[in-house]
Amino acid sequence: MILNQHPSGRHFLQIPGPSPVPDRILRAISLPTIDHRGPEFGVLGLKLLAGLQQVFQTRHPVIIYPASGTGAWEAALVNTLSAGDAVLMFETGHFASLWQKLALRLGLQPEFIGDSGLDASGIPLSWRRGVQADQIEARLRADSAHRIKAVCVVHNETSTGVTSDIAAVRRAIDAAGHPALLMVDTISGLARADYRHDDWGVDVTVSGSQKGLMLPPGISFNAVSPKALEAAKTATLPRAFWAWDEILAMNQTGYWPYTPSTNLLYGLAEALDMLLTQGLPQVFARHQRWAEGVRCAVRAWGLQIQCADAAVYSPVLTGVVLPAGIDADRVRKTIHERFDLSLGTGLGRVRGRMFRIGHLGDCNDLTLLAALAGCEMGLQLSGVPLAGSGVQAAMAHFASHPAAATIPV
């Protein structure tokens, strides 16, 4: 029985996704599965699609896939591009790299830019700052033949804790007078960090369920602009499961061309109800406050926050760089075994150098303090010299910065 795997007490899931799922949502996804062709389903479907538009801040369609987030990346590319198309991608971290790798596999020609240098800690400079819009603008200006068909960037880099300025990317593209589509991955940013599909002129936004939406993994999204829909008409990469056209046609009445992920959609209905009842601005503010509390802790420990630019700190996770010579994964293992706390590992080019603390999903001040306590004890047990108590610093922050009054959700 799978249930037996869980040790005494509640596990602290402080990875940057999947995030802790609220009880309300867990109960909702356990309701009996209904007929995805029946009349109740259409009502549900229309409600979900309308609610998602509010969360993506768009008047344009949002597609829901019964597939995890990686599939939504693939969907964005295969619906809009053709074999051999050049795409400009910016190396913000591991997930940007994975998206580039996926583009390669699909037969596209990704061009991957960023800062190639390393900082004093041996960490790629690109992995500590967000997208540099000026580099994008320069590259697009140089592409006078308009070979580049899309600019693909990650909004909230889950591997680093950096949230790029997407509006600036849009301005860069416009300044260059370039027709490339703008595609943005906000898998871990949506619904916790302010994200504006329409205002920022994004053509395809990619997201998933298991982060800010507080759902288990399993469904993912494409928000699509009219320009992206237009591009889909001539794009020739083969596509069937991911094809927008059939889904959009069926979505008119709240249905899908193939079987949707019914029970996760129940959870989505709950999540939308919770989010929209409270209000997105309130949710965003809540995570900004928590993020600053966590950063207070990291500073007090005398450790480095991976994000080197305060303007682009992520509200949903914080990367903690460990001193050279310390294996961050051994620290994580100690913390997991001793304190039943899961932290995010260092991915790709920062493997072993850092760990990540998630502060998204369903949490509160005490949950985060518990997580910081687990980190602090684990760092000490691992022999990492600390300048002071991060827990104390975070407590001081939370105590002196009360949360705005909120409608309970």
Nearer to a copy of itself, 42 or 201 (CB): 42
- 227 C-beta neighbours (distance < 10 Å), count: 17
Q: Which of 274, 306, 379, 276 is nearest to 92 (CA)?
A: 306
Q: Contacts with a copy of itself in 151-210 (CB under 8 A)?
A: 208, 210
Amino acid sitting at position 399: A
Tell me if 233 contacts a copy of itself by CB under 8 A. Answer: no
Q: Choose, by CB under 8 A, the member of 45, 71, 114, 346 that binds a copy of itself.
A: 71
Smallest gap from Cβ 53 to a copy of itself, in A, equals 18
Nearer to a copy of itself, 148 or 268 (CB): 268
Tell me if 331 contacts a copy of itself by CB under 8 A. Answer: no
Q: Choose, by CB under 8 A, the member of 42, 49, 53, 70 that binds a copy of itself.
A: 70
Angle at 133 between CA 213 and CA 244, to 5 degrees: 45
Q: Dig out the tokens for 70 from the structure.
A: 């990686």
Integer Cα distance of 142 and 185 in angstroms: 25
Smallest gap from Cβ 48 to a copy of itself, in A, equals 10
Q: Choose, by CB under 8 A, the member of 96, 166, 223, 264 that binds a copy of itself.
A: 264
Nearer to a copy of itself, 146 or 401 (CB): 401
Q: Choose, by CB under 8 A, the member of 62, 169, 223, 391 that binds a copy of itself.
A: 391
Q: Contacts with a copy of itself in 340-379 (CB under 8 A)?
A: 340-342, 345, 362-367, 369-371, 373-374, 376-377
Q: Choose, by CB under 8 A, the member of 27, 141, 146, 351 that binds a copy of itself.
A: 27
Q: Contacts with a copy of itself in 96-135 (CB under 8 A)?
A: 101-102, 105-107
Question: Does residue 399 come out as left (phi exceeding 0), alpha (psi in the -120 to 50 range) or beta?
Answer: alpha
Smallest gap from Cβ 69 to a copy of itself, in A, equals 6
Applying CB under 8 A, which part among 171-179, 199-207, 216-224, 300-308 lies near a copy of itself?
216-224
Smallest gap from Cβ 67 to a copy of itself, in A, equals 4
φ, ψ of residue 151 in degrees (nearest 5): -110, 125
Integer Cα distance of 166 and 163 in angstroms: 9
Q: Choose, by CB under 8 A, the member of 59, 116, 285, 408 that binds a copy of itself.
A: 408
| Four-CA torsion 167, 169, 174, 177, nearest 10 degrees | 180
Q: Which of 199, 260, 233 is nearest to 42 (CA)?
A: 260
Burial 324-350 (b: 16+ CB within 10 A, else e): eebebbebbebbbeebbbbbbbbbebb
The answer to whether 197 touches 221, Cβ cutoff 8 Å, is: no
Q: Choose, by CB under 8 A, the member of 46, 49, 66, 194 that binds a copy of itself.
A: 66
Smallest gap from Cβ 148 to a copy of itself, in A, equals 19
Q: Choose, by CB under 8 A, the member of 111, 194, 273, 292 that binds a copy of itself.
A: 273
Nearer to a copy of itself, 30 or 252 (CB): 30
Q: Please, is 56 exposed, middle or buried when counting C-beta atoms within 10 Å of its C-beta (0-12, 13-18, 19+)?
A: buried
Nearer to a copy of itself, 104 or 311 (CB): 104
The answer to whether 76 touches 206, Cβ cutoff 8 Å, is: yes
Tell me if 89 contacts a copy of itself by CB under 8 A. Answer: no
Alpha-helical regions (H) of 252-306: 262-278, 280-301
Radius of gyration (C-alpha) of the chain in whole angstroms = 21
Tell me if 244 contacts a copy of itself by CB under 8 A. Answer: no
Smallest gap from Cβ 292 to a copy of itself, in A, equals 16
Amino acid sitting at position 129: R
Smallest gap from Cβ 137 to a copy of itself, in A, equals 29
Integer Cα distance of 137 and 177 in angstroms: 9
Strand 354-358 vs strand 317-321: parallel, antiparallel, or unpaired? antiparallel
Smallest gap from Cβ 86 to a copy of itself, in A, equals 16
Nearer to a copy of itself, 187 or 312 (CB): 187
